[in-house]
Chains A and B, each alone.
Chain A
Amino acid sequence: MAINIKESEEIVEDVLSIYPEKPRKNRQEHIGVNKKDACGSCVAKSNLKSLPGVMTPRGCAYAGSKGVVWGPVKDVINISHGPIGCGHYSWGTRRNLANGVPGVENFMPFQFTTDFRERDIVFGGDKKLEQAIHELKGLFPTTKGFVVESECPIGLIGDDIEAVAKKTSADLNTTVIPVRCEGFRGVSQSLGHHIANDSIRDYVVGSGKLDDSQKTKYDVAILGDYNIGGDVWASMKVITEMGLNVIAHWSGDGSIEEMRITHEVNYILLHCYRSMNYISNYYNEKYGIPWIEYNFFGPTKIKESIRKIAALFDEHIQEQSEKVIEKYEPKMQAVIDKYRPRLEGKKVMILVGGLRPRHIVGAYEDLGMQVVSAAYEFAHDDDYERTTKQLEDGAIIADDLNEHEFIELAHRLKPDLVASGIKEKYVFQKMGIPFRQMHSWDYSGPYHGYDGFEIFAKDMDLAINSPSWKFVKPSWKK
C-alpha cells in the first residue's frame, strides 16, 4: 500500500511538537518525508552535532576507527591507547568473524590496552606506549604491525603518538600506525571512519607488491564489508563464481598484508560507502583505480549489482555472471515462496548506521515488506542523496533519530518490525514489537549474498511470526 505523504508529514510534525522552539527547529531539519525526486539534504540535514541531553544512538570517533575500520584487521594488534573502558566495550562486540589461529595469525579475540592511570594522565603516556609496543612484539612476534587508537585523554594531554610510532617502527622494524581517533572529535563514529581511512592512506596504501605473475585482469578488492556473521565470505562466494579474483577484502577477515597490495587491483567493489569512500577515492586519484558501489542484500539488488559489476569486465565475466544469476534464481524464488506469504505487507522501521537503512530496503521488498521509515545514526548528505531513491514516497527519513522520536514514530507508524541496534532492541520488544538487531544481525548472519538472503528471510520471519508474541497480553485481559 502506498504511503500517504501528507499523513507522514503530520506524523513528523506531531512527533516534533514536544520540543520547545529551538530544539524543534534543529530536529525539524533532520527529519523529513521522502519524495523520490527530492534532494537528500532537502529531506534531512546530517553530520551535525547531536542535541545534548537526549538519547542519541551515536557513538564516537574511536568507535568508528577502532570498532569499525581497523578493529577487524586480524593480523595487526589494535592497541586501545588510553584508559580501560573504550577497549573493554569494543572487545568482541561487533561480530567481525575472522579465520586464523588466535594469538598467532588472528588477534581479533583480544583486547589490548595501555590502561591509563592517573600518573599517565599527569606525566604523559608516550613512554608507556613505547614500552607496550616492545612488550607486545616480544609476546606476539608474528603480528604484522600495530595500530594505536587514541582515546579522549591522548589528544587532551598532548601526547605525541606519531613520534612514538615512528621510533618504535624503526626500532622494531615493524609497522606502527598512529590513529588520532579521540572520541571527542567530530559528531559521531563517522569522523572516525575518515580518520582511520586517512591513516591507511598514510601508512599502508601502496606498501606491498603483487608479483606480476600473480596478476590477472579480473583482480578486484572488496571494501567496506566487515564480515559481520560471515558476510564477506558469502559475498566472496558470489563474486568468485562470477569469475573475479578477490585479492583483498577490507576489513572483515582482513589483513594488512592484503591492504598493502590493494593498489594492484583493477577495480574496487565498495559495499559500505559511508565508511570507506574516502580511501576508495584516494585509490582512484592516485592509481586511477575505479570503484563501484554494490548492494548484496536481497536477490533483486544482488542481481542488479552483479550486472553492474560484470559490465566493467569482458564478455567472459558477463556470461559467467548471468550463469550465477541463473543458478541462484530458483533457490531465491524458493526462499521468497516460503517466506513472502508470511511477511507480505509487514511494515518495517529502520535505524542503523550509515549504509544499511538504504541498502537493506530491497531485501525487505523482496519479501513483500514495506519500509515505512529509515533513519541513520551518522550518515552524510551523499548518503541521503542515495536514500531518497531507494525508499517509497511518503516514507519518513531521519538523521540521528533519538530514542524519544523513534518511540513516538513507532506509536504512530505501528510497525510490524523494528530493525536497529542493541540499545533500541529491548525498548521495542517491551512494547511488544518484534525486533532484529541490524548491526550485529542479532547473533545470526551472514545477511550478504545469496546465502545471506536465505538467513535474512528466516530471521525476519522468526522475529515477526514467533508464537511468543501472542503472550504479551495475559489471557485474562484479552
Chain B
Amino acid sequence: MAKMTKEEVRQTKDWMKTEEYKELNFQRKSIVINPERACQPLGAVLCSAGFEGTMPFIHGSHGCVAYYRNNLSRHFREPIAAVSTSLTEDGAVFGGQANGFEGFKNCLNLYKPKMFAISTTCMTEVIGDDLGAIVNNARAKGFLPEDVPAPYANTPSFVGSHIDGYDNMLAAIIDTLGVKSESVSDVINIIPGFDTTTGNINEIKRLLTIMKVPYLVIADYSNTLDSPLNGEYKLYNEGATTLEDTKNCVNNKATIALQKFSTKKTLALLADKFKQEAKAVKSPVGIQFTDEFLMKVSEITGKEIPKEIEDERGRAVDSMTDAQQYIHGKKFAIFGDPDILTGLTSYLLEMGGIPKYVLCSNGNEEFKNDVEALLKEYGCDEGEVYIDKDLWHLHSLVMTGPVDMLIGPSHGKFVAREAGVPHIRLGYPIFDRVNIHRYPFYAYSGVINLTTWIVNKFIEIADETSDDAHFELLR
C-alpha cells in the first residue's frame, strides 16, 4: 500500500473535524472509542481501601488485579494492596473454589487481614462461581476463620462501571458487618462515594468538625491513600474506617452520601434493611450545593451553621465575584463521573460559565435530567448533556462547536490538544499532574480552588498569547 502523502493525511485529519464526520461518529453502535469509564472491580478495590486492615480479594486472574493496582497507584501515587485467586485455564473448567481456599490461606499467612473484601471479575462471573458457597465452604473447612469477616460482592465488568463496583462492595461490607441495635447514636455517617480526591473528604471532615457534628466517614481512604512518608511501609495504613465503627454505623442517626450514582445500592440497604435515614445530597461543588449540604447536616443534627463557616462562604463568594469576569460567557466541555459533573455544572453556572458539553460515559437518564434541570434553572440554553458517550464523541463535538476549556480526567488531554484549548484536570484518573487529588474541589474551599485553577489558566493563556502591546501587568 502506498504511503499517504502529507496532503492526504491533512485532508483526512480535516475531514475528522467536520459536521459530516460528527454525524458518522454519532451513528456508531458497536464500538466505543476512548470512554472515560473503568470496570466494577476497580471501584471495589477503592472502596476496600477505606476499611481498617482490609485486603481486597478479587476472584479471578491476577492480570485484572495488576491493572487495578497500577491504575489506582498512578492516580494517588500511593501503594495499592490487592490480591487475586490467580485463576488460570483449569479454573475456568473446574471452577475457582480450590484457588479461593488456597488464596485465603496464603493471604492470611502473609498479610494478616482483619477483613477480606471479595469481588469478582468477568471470568468468575461468566463461569458462574458462587461466592457465597466458596466463603461458606472455606469457613466450614477451616480456610477462613470465623473472626475474619469476608463480605463479597458480584462486580462483573460487563455491567455498569467503577462507580457501581464501589457501591456493590460498600453495600456488601455494611450488610455483612452491620449489626442493628436498639439505641440510635448522634453520629451521622458520611459516604464519599467513588471520589478519588482525598482533599474532598478531608474538607468535609473539617467542616463537620467546625460544626461540632459527630460523624463517621464510611470507606474513609483519605488517610490510607494519602499516607505519610516516614520510612515505614504499612500494608494497612491508619485512619481507615474501623470494622467496629462499620458494625455500628447502621445505628447512627443518619447517612449522607456525597454522591448519588455511586451509592444507590448502599443507601437502599441502609434505608430498607437497617431503617436508617439515608440520603444522597448533590455533590457539594459550588456555593449552592455546599449550602444545601450544610443545611442538610444542620437539619439532621440540629446544629447551627456557625459564623466561622459563614465567613468561609463569604470568602468563597468574594473569590468568585473577584474573578467571575474571566469565566462569564466562557464555554466548557466537561466529562467524567456523573456526580462530579452535576456539581461542576452547578459551579460553572454560578460563575456565569456555559457548560456547553456535559459528557458522561457512565451516566444514565436520571443524571441527564439532573443536569438539564440545572441548565434550565440558569436559563442556559446552550448546554448539551450526553450520556453513554465517549471522548471520541467529545472530539467531534468540540471540533464542530468550539469551547474555551475542557475540565475532566487526564484522558481528555488528547481532545484538548486537538482543539488547542486548556484542560483542567479533575476527577478520576489523573495520571499526568501531581497532587491535584490533595486539593478539594468540594465546599467553599473547593470554590476557591476551582476558581483559582480555571481563571489563572485563562490569564496565563492571555499572557502567553498576547503581543507586546497587550502584555499587561494588570489582569
Bound-state CA distance A83–B69 (Å) is 18
A85 contacts B111, CB within 8 Å?
no
Shortest C-beta distance, A313 to chain B (Å), equals 28
Other-chain contact of B157, A49, A57, A58, A83 (Cβ < 8 Å): A83
Q: For chain B residues 66-124, which have a beta carbon within 8 Å of chain A?
A: 66-71, 73-74, 77-89, 91-92, 99-100, 102-107, 109-111, 121-123
Bound-state CA distance A120–B158 (Å) is 9
The stretch that binds A, out of B35-43, B211-219, B249-257, B320-328, is B35-43
B126 contacts A157, CB within 8 Å?
yes
Instruction: List, in ascending order, chain A residues with CB within 8 A of B121's CB.
Output: 152
B157 contacts A59, CB within 8 Å?
no
Shortest C-beta distance, B372 to chain A (Å), equals 25
Instruction: List, in ascending order, chain A residues with CB within 8 A of B42's CB.
Output: 85
Instruction: List, in ascending order, chain B residues with CB within 8 A of A49's CB.
Output: 86, 88
Across the interface, name the chain A residue whose C-beta is closest to B108.
A53
Q: Does A381 contact B (CB under 8 A)?
A: no
Given contacts A18-B109, A115-B35, A132-B31, are A423 and B80 in contact (CB under 8 A)? yes
Shortest C-beta distance, A203 to chain B (Å), equals 16
B229 contacts A111, CB within 8 Å?
no
Bound-state CA distance A257–B4 (Å) is 12
Bound-state CA distance A82–B127 (Å) is 15
B229 contacts A429, CB within 8 Å?
yes
Given contacts A49-B88, A103-B13, A472-B231, are A54 and B63 in contact (CB under 8 A)? no
B16 contacts A103, CB within 8 Å?
yes
Shortest C-beta distance, A475 to chain B (Å), equals 13
Bound-state CA distance A84–B155 (Å) is 13
Instruction: List, in ascending order, chain A residues with CB within 8 A of B86's CB.
Output: 49-53, 56
Instruction: List, in ascending order, chain B residues with CB within 8 A of A185's CB.
Output: 88-89
Instruction: List, in ascending order, chain A residues with CB within 8 A of B122's CB.
Output: 82-83, 85, 151-153
Number of A residues contacting the other chain (C-beta, 8 Å)?
A: 89
Bound-state CA distance A57–B418 (Å) is 36
Shortest C-beta distance, B328 to chain A (Å), equals 33
Q: Does A430 contact B (CB under 8 A)?
A: yes
Q: Does B474 contact A (CB under 8 A)?
A: no
Q: Does A19 contact B (CB under 8 A)?
A: yes
Return the CB mask of A74-110 against B: 1 if under 8 Å, else 0.
0000010011111011111100000001111100011
Return the CB mask of B41-73 against A: 1 if under 8 Å, else 0.
110000000000000010011111011111101
Bound-state CA distance A139–B395 (Å) is 13
Across the interface, name the chain B residue whose C-beta is closest to A421.
B70
Return the CB mask of A386-405 against B: 1 if under 8 Å, else 0.
00000000000000001110
Return the CB mask of A111-129 against B: 1 if under 8 Å, else 0.
1111111101100000011
Q: Does A467 contact B (CB under 8 A)?
A: no
Q: For chain B residues 203-257, which have a beta carbon within 8 Å of chain A?
A: 227, 229-234
Given contacts A105-B9, A110-B33, are A426 and B123 in contact (CB under 8 A)? no
B70 contacts A423, CB within 8 Å?
yes
Bound-state CA distance A470–B64 (Å) is 37
A153 contacts B126, CB within 8 Å?
yes
B67 contacts A90, CB within 8 Å?
yes
Q: Does B433 contact A (CB under 8 A)?
A: no
A430 contacts B109, CB within 8 Å?
no
A432 contacts B123, CB within 8 Å?
no
B66 contacts A54, CB within 8 Å?
no
Binding site for A on B (CB under 8 A): 1, 4, 9, 12-13, 16, 21, 24-25, 27-35, 37-39, 41-42, 57, 60-64, 66-71, 73-74, 77-89, 91-92, 99-100, 102-107, 109-111, 121-123, 126-127, 156-159, 161, 227, 229-234, 392, 411, 414, 418, 431
Report 16 cross-chain contacts, Cβ distance below 8 Å, ordered by A residue: A52-B102, A53-B57, A58-B66, A83-B156, A88-B39, A93-B71, A111-B35, A135-B28, A135-B29, A142-B4, A151-B122, A156-B92, A184-B91, A184-B123, A430-B227, A472-B229
